[in-house]
Amino acid sequence: MDNTTNRWRTVDVIVAAVIAVAFGVVFQLWNVIWKGSEGPFAFFAPLQSVIYGVWLIPAVLSALIIRRPGAALFTETVASAISVLLGSPYGAMAILQGAVQGLGVEVGFAAGRYRSYRPLTAALAGALGGLFATLFDALYWYPGTSWASFRLPYIAFGVLSCLVVAGLGSVALTRALANTGVLDRFPAGRDRAVV
């Protein structure tokens, strides 16, 4: 981190909340797309998790921008709660799922002691978030499925999706936002070459 404190500033909370609300709405759209994609992926159902990464973008994005422990967990959990308030078909369990996803992303950034926000760290955080999320899915949402023919491929495709879409996609999104100047109050805005 660029400073010696992990204390959140008011602007950190506001930005995390804005990201959470925006992605809570995106989650509702993604819920529809997810349900609608069951048919096209019917030939090999585990492959559906290649579109999973969108659900973890707010966790990685907020961690890259705010650079404080807990940013990923907070933002992902609040985004999930917003989606529940908007009528998520997954009900209140989506809030727990969001917390699990955010926790996985936190583990990725914690591995770098919250000092590295480079693409490799973001990719690791996305992948770990995907691992936590799809493992949760395998155990909670798909309890009767086979590990060999469904769960393991589902987890593998989901981890890859989260690595690319949430991890590297959030790096690209952070860079794009930084280049506009809107992140100048954050290390991500001042450190454009690194993120």
69-122: pLDDT as tens digits: 999 999 999 999 999 999 999 999 999 999 999 999 999 999 999 999 999 999
Cβ–Cβ < 8 Å for 72, 63 = yes
Model-level pTM? 0.94
Q: Which stretches within 8-92 are classed as H helix?
A: 10-36, 57-66, 71-85
Sites in the chain below the pLDDT cut of 50: 1-4, 193-195
How many of the other CB atoms lie within 10 Å of CB of 112? Answer: 15
Rounded Cα distance between 70 and 49, Å, is: 26
Topology (CATH level 3) of domain 10-190: Arp2/3 complex 21 kDa subunit ARPC3 (1.10.1760)
Rounded Cα distance between 78 and 75, Å, is: 5
Largest CA distance in the chain: 52
